[in-house]
Amino acid sequence: LFSVQASLCIASRHDSIMSAWLGTFSLMRPQVPDWLETLCQRLTDNDPTLTTVEVIRQRIDDSNVIVLAKALQENTTVTTLVLSLYNIVDDGALTLGATLQRNRSIKTLQLRDIRDGREIDVLFQSLCQNTSITELSLRHSSVCTRGAKAIKKFLQTHKTLAELRLVDCQIMPLAATAIADGMEQNASIERLYMINNGMGSAGSEPLGNVQAINKSLKELYLGENQIGDEVMQSLAQGLRDNSTLESLNLRSNNITSVGASSLAFILQNNRSIVRLYLASNLFQDKGVSLLSTSLQHNQVLQTLDLSENGIDSKGAESLAKMLLSNQMLKELNLSSNQIGDAGALAIANVLDKNQTLERLSVRGNKIGNDGAIAFARKLPFMKGLKELIMIKNSFGLEGRAMLLRGIQLNMELEYLHVDDRSPSEQTVREIVHWIRLNRAGRRIFKETNLNVGLWPFVFAKVNPNPDVLFHFLNQKPEVFIQSTKKRKLASR
């Protein structure tokens, strides 16, 4: 009896130990959320409606990264993959890397929140074997020298990448040098965005030679890196022999008139830059004067952004002089400066002579009634301008009333932005009506002899709003009269 009882006790203890072990095993298995299970099933089934996978708000852990990566290995429908990898470690990086090596459908890849250079190293080493990705973005990540070396190798070897974005990252100076070295040997990237990466002048300087050596780059965005005048000089030297770069963005970089001088020297002879964005720098009037002089005979640049540069009336006068001779610029942004009434008068006085500028913004420039009236008086004579932005200024009802009178005699302007200070004010609504009429082709109505019976069809195609038809008939009642007479004759 004692022997039987002892056996039962031992068996009971064995069962309890096994039960505890199995419970521990179940806790060790990855806890896959329901949404991820559903997503992985769709990936495995190659759901044709699933072309974009975006996992940002859900900070999945390393085990779930592995689950998702395995589901993506044989998938052929997803073309865009966006992942937040805040909790990724070695195993997750290795599995995801293996997937990126095999997958051939993903064209756009965005990786976010990678905290360790080891994971960047693993992922970019794997991406060296990928032959399908054309757009790659790394955001909110820390790029040390180890990770940068992997990025360098990737840039040197990858043949299909057309766009690289490094945004809101922490990039050390040595890491920036490695990335610049990789760019110099890359022959496929057309668009490079390095935005707010804390590089400063030391980290940005290696990028100065990229434009001189890389012949594929068409767009370069170095905004919000505080590069300063010294790096601007280096960039200008790199641009001297460049004939492929079309768009350059240097927003928020602490560039003063010293850096503007270097840039102005290049713009005199540059034959490729079409768009130049220089917002939120420190050019002030002196720097703007240097740029304006260099652009007087520039035959390439079409877009110029000088918003938030401390420009007052003298800088506006320099730009006005440039607009008299420049016959290529189509868009000029002077938002958030202080040109005032005097600056508005200087620019307005040349817009009847310049027929190429299509879009002008003087938003937030302390323009009062006198400045608004200056634009209003020139509106009837403007032939090229399509959009004029004047919001956030200080002119009142008098200025808006004069703009209304001006737009009634202007048949070219299609967008006029002014503040609607009072919901009950008729002036702004009248401006909107005349602008809509312009967009519907008021000038064509004036100049053509097309059968009036066709105009309702034209209105239906361009602008179905009855306000437009009302204003047109109000201005040309003879059209309605002629149309009525024709219908009466036809009925006889």
How much is the pLDDT for 297?
Answer: 86
Could you tell me if 348 and 374 are in contact, meaning their C-beta atoms sit under 8 angstroms apart? Answer: yes
How much is the pLDDT for 302?
Answer: 97
d(CA 475, CA 466): 14
The per-residue pLDDT for range 188-230, each reduced to its tens digit, is 999 999 999 887 776 677 676 666 566 788 999 999 988 899 8
Contacts of 358 (CB under 8 A, 6+ apart): 330, 331, 384, 385, 386, 387
Q: Which residue has the tokens 């919901």?
A: 423
Indicate the Cα dihedral angle 435, 440, 445, 450, nearest 10°. 180
Burial of 352 (0-12, 13-18, 19+ CB in 10 A): middle
**Which one, of 403, 426, 262, lies nearest residue 344 by Cα?**
403
How much is the pLDDT for 268?
Answer: 84
d(CA 234, CA 145): 23
Could you tell me if 404 and 431 are in contact, meaning their C-beta atoms sit under 8 angstroms apart? Answer: yes
The per-residue pLDDT for range 161-180, each reduced to its tens digit, is 999 999 999 988 888 888 88
How much is the pLDDT for 23?
Answer: 44
How much is the pLDDT for 455?
Answer: 59
pLDDT means per 10 residues, the chain with 492 residues, are: 44 48 44 90 95 88 92 94 88 92 93 89 92 93 89 91 93 86 88 88 69 78 90 84 90 94 87 95 96 93 97 97 95 98 97 96 97 97 95 95 94 92 78 86 67 58 55 54 45 52
Could you tell me if 87 and 116 are in contact, meaning their C-beta atoms sit under 8 angstroms apart? Answer: no
Hey, is 107 helix, strand or coil? Answer: coil
d(CA 16, CA 19): 5
How much is the pLDDT for 458?
Answer: 60
Radius of gyration of the chain (CA): 32
d(CA 282, CA 205): 19
Could you tell me if 404 and 432 are in contact, meaning their C-beta atoms sit under 8 angstroms apart? Answer: no
80 forms beta bridges with 52, 108
d(CA 402, CA 288): 30
How much is the pLDDT for 2?
Answer: 41
